């Protein structure tokens, strides 16, 4: 297919991923030129989205891409730039996970997801993307506003007095500000969906186990999952296809399921009612809205945007039905017990011995541990380590951790019951649009409560995404959350893509971008 006139003449940072791929393949611009264009934008950026760049490394990757393009041996996104959340380890760039304890840490290898998006793993061909740098995030991905970054906060490009969301706040801000056409994120309890929603972009967390966690700095291993953040469902489908797939030697929880070609599967029947036969057995696609998610505590402009988006889906042939997730409200206590427990264990590796920061003076080994960790971790990380150690300790394990695991199963079972009545679940991503920097800074509980809509799918390990469905009262973006059953990413991406074909919300961009 030939690029349309508009796409080939459009400025590089406004082109979609497939447009950029065509620009590169047809030699309208080289990978070096494309990388330079984006790096210039990164240099002029004032959102604080990037934590580090390494121009030399980026240029070397771009030159290698140009060589592959010249030889006709490129990957599917050869030479197209991407930036990675700073929890993915990278050989060419410092990796900090947003923490002082890893300041200046350089990994000896690339995360599997990073490799797959670049040169590929074990001689398999990768997507061929060029890395622009590493993106800011909450320390060890703990947070919802990116204000827990040990380095600096990120400003939302839609309103620079507001947060971009978190923990993948740098990823969302960088895509929204067109500093990069695509980014990786990680989602433990909402960290792809919520910042995507706050910044008006599209992001998807696949089924737990679809993407390898090898080389992702661990926060809560039973929940952590990588996913793409970009401008459209179409772009996310391309990235997700490249990122997923089994990694049995390096991540024992990775699923033994080949990655699907999510992009070609976007080709549903055309016509004005493309969703009329997109459900099970050729029935209309049924979208279930949890009764618990339409009311109390939800900002009215979000409810309004969500309702409009759902009626748009109905006009595309979908049916909206009510479902119930009775245990979903318990997700907050369950998640904050499970994630803290796992974090307290995962973060024990940061002891001043193996990597990262070590206190400069200390009396003995214990004192070295205490000082290193005392200096290296921020308040939120310390809070979770303490909660996690408490809930795992003798006498409290049964009362908290085991109890939480049981309710986690009930939350997952609620979804299975709901999926007998619908193909896809839809609801809000967060109870509010992006808040002001500094709001609730001393109230961690307020932030925990705001995770109410994203935590259930995380605890169940289900695929879920956020897509932009308009601007709310303050001119801030609103996202719609879609949740699918296990390995059912395709219906989510399809629904989002159909919606984006007939609406403009995903094309809206912040002023001045
Ligand atoms: N906001 C949630 C937390 O602070 C989720 C973070 C995440 O998904 N990494 O834990």
**130-135 and 50-52 strand pairing:** antiparallel
Cα(123) to ligand 1 centroid in Å equals: 34
Predicted pLDDT of residue 272: 84
Q: Average pLDDT over the chain, rounded to whole? A: 95
For residue 401, the SS3 value is helix
Residues with catalytic roles? 85, 167, 191
Instruction: Name the token pair of 100.
Output: 């002082």
User: Which residues, other chains included, contact 405 with Cβ-Cβ below 8 Å and sequence gap of 6+?
Assistant: 338
Cα(336) to ligand 1 centroid in Å equals: 9
Contact 203, 430 (CB under 8 A): no
How large is the average pLDDT for residues 350-373? 96
* C-alpha–C-alpha distance, residues 501 and 313, integer Å: 12
Q: Which atom of ligand 1 is nearest to the CA of 458?
A: 8
* C-alpha–C-alpha distance, residues 210 and 226, integer Å: 9
Choose the residue to mutate in 86, 87, 138, 143 for probing ligand 1, maximizing ligand atoms within 8 Å of C-beta.
Answer: 143
Choose the residue to mutate in 98, 142, 444, 465 for probing ligand 1, maximizing ligand atoms within 8 Å of C-beta.
Answer: 142
Going by pLDDT thresholds of 50, 70 and 90, the confidence category of residue 8 is very low
Contact 124, 139 (CB under 8 A): no
Task: Report the range of poorest mean pLDDT among 7-11, 188-192, 396-400, 461-465.
Answer: 7-11
* C-alpha–C-alpha distance, residues 417 and 323, integer Å: 9
Distance of CA 108 to the CA centre of its chain: 24
Cα(190) to ligand 1 centroid in Å equals: 6
Contact 135, 174 (CB under 8 A): yes
Residue 94 DSSP code: -
Q: What are the tens digits of pLDDT across the range 274-300?
A: 999 999 989 999 999 999 898 788 999
How large is the average pLDDT for residues 449-455? 96
Q: What are the tens digits of pLDDT across the range 42-70?
A: 999 999 999 999 999 999 999 999 999 99
Burial class (CB in 10 A: 0-12, 13-18, 19+), 511: exposed
Q: What are the tens digits of pLDDT across the range 206-255?
A: 999 999 999 999 999 999 999 999 999 999 999 999 999 999 999 999 99
User: Which residues, other chains included, contact 409 with Cβ-Cβ below 8 Å and sequence gap of 6+?
Assistant: none
Q: Which atom of ligand 1 is nearest to the CA of 192?
A: 8
Contact 126, 242 (CB under 8 A): yes
Q: What is the pTM of this model?
A: 0.97
Answer whether the bond into residue 390 is a cis peptide, omega within 30°.
Answer: no
Q: Which atom of ligand 1 is nearest to the CA of 384?
A: 10
What residues flank ligand 1, with Cβ below 6 Å? Answer: 141-144, 167, 187-191, 219, 339, 451
User: Which residues, other chains included, contact 374 with Cβ-Cβ below 8 Å and sequence gap of 6+?
Assistant: 359
Predicted pLDDT of residue 265: 80
**424-428 and 477-484 strand pairing:** antiparallel
The upper half-sphere exposure of residue 470, i.e. CA atoms within 13 Å in the direction of its Cβ, equals 14
- The angle, 0 to 180 degrees and rounded to 10, between the axes of the packed helices 489-502 and 300-315 is 90
Please report the DSSP string for 60-118 in residue order. HHHHHHHHHHHTT---TTTT-EEEEETTB--SSS---TT-GGGTT---SS--HHHHHHT
Strand order in the sheet with 50-52: 50-52, 130-135, 81-85, 182-187, 225-230, 202-205, 464-471, 477-484, 424-428, 286-290, 319-323
* C-alpha–C-alpha distance, residues 229 and 239, integer Å: 9
- Which helix (H) or strand (E) segment holds residue 130: the answer is strand 130-135
Instruction: List the residue whose alpha carbon is closest to atom 5 of ligand 1.
Output: 189
Going by pLDDT thresholds of 50, 70 and 90, the confidence category of residue 441 is confident
Contact 94, 45 (CB under 8 A): no
How large is the average pLDDT for residues 489-493? 96
User: Which residues, other chains included, contact 274 with Cβ-Cβ below 8 Å and sequence gap of 6+?
Assistant: 268, 316, 317, 498
Cα(143) to ligand 1 centroid in Å equals: 5
Q: What are the tens digits of pLDDT across the range 124-163?
A: 899 999 999 999 999 999 999 999 999 999 999 999 999 9
Choose the residue to mutate in 98, 136, 163, 166 for probing ligand 1, maximizing ligand atoms within 8 Å of C-beta.
Answer: 166
Cα(136) to ligand 1 centroid in Å equals: 14
Give yes or no for residue 7 having a pLDDT over 60.
no
């Amino acid at each position: 297919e030939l690029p349309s006139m508009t796409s080939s003449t459009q400025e590089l940072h406004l082109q979609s991923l497939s447009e950029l791929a065509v620009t590169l393949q047809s030699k309208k611009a080289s990978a070096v030129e494309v990388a330079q264009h984006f790096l210039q934008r990164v240099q002029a950026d004032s959102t604080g989205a990037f934590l580090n760049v390494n121009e030399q490394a980026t240029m070397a990757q771009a030159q290698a891409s140009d060589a592959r393009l010249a030889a006709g041996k490129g990957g599917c996104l050869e030479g197209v730039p991407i930036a990675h959340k700073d929890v993915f380890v990278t050989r060419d760039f410092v990796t900090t996970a947003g923490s002082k304890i890893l300041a200046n840490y350089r990994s000896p290898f690339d995360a599997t997801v990073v490799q797959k998006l670049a040169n590929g793993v074990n001689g398999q061909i990768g997507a061929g993307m060029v890395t622009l740098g590493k993106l800011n995030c909450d320390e060890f991905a703990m947070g919802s506003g990116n204000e827990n970054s040990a380095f600096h906060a990120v400003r939302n490009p839609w309103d620079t007095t507001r947060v971009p969301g978190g923990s993948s706040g740098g990823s969302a801000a960088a895509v929204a500000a067109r500093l990069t056409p695509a980014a990786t994120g990680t989602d433990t309890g909402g960290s792809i969906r919520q910042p995507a929603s706050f910044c008006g972009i599209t992001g998807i967390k696949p089924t737990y186990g679809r993407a390898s966690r090898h080389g992702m700095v661990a926060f809560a291993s039973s929940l952590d999952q990588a996913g793409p953040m970009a401008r459209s469902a179409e772009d996310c489908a391309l990235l997700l296809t490249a990122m997923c797939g089994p990694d049995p030697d390096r991540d024992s929880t990775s699923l033994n399921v080949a990655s699907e070609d999510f992009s070609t599967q976007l080709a549903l029947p055309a016509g004005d009612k493309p969703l009329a036969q997109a459900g099970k057995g050729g029935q209309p696609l049924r979208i279930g809205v949890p009764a618990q998610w339409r009311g109390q505590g939800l900002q009215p402009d979000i409810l309004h945007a969500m309702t409009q988006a759902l009626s748009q889906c109905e006009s595309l042939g979908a049916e909206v039905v009510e479902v119930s997730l009775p245990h979903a409200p318990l997700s907050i206590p369950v998640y904050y017990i499970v994630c803290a427990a796992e974090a307290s264990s995962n973060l024990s590796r940061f002891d001043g011995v193996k990597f990262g920061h070590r206190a400069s003076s200390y009396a003995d080994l214990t004192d070295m541990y205490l000082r290193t960790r005392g200096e290296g971790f921020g308040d939120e990380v310390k809070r979770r380590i303490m909660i996690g150690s408490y809930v795992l300790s003798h006498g409290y394990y049964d009362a908290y951790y085991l109890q939480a695991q049981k309710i986690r199963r009930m939350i997952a079972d609620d979804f299975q019951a709901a999926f007998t009545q619908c193909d896809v679940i839809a609801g809000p991503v967060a109870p509010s649009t992006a808040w002001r920097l500094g709001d609730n800074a001393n109230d961690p509980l307020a932030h925990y409560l705001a995770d109410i809509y994203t935590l259930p799918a995380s605890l169940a390990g289900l695929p879920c995404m956020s897509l932009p469905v308009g601007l709310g009262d303050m001119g801030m973006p609103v996202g719609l959350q879609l949740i699918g059953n296990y390995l059912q990413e395709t219906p989510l991406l399809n629904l989002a893509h159909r919606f984006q074909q007939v609406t403009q919300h995903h094309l809206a961009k912040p002023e001045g971008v």
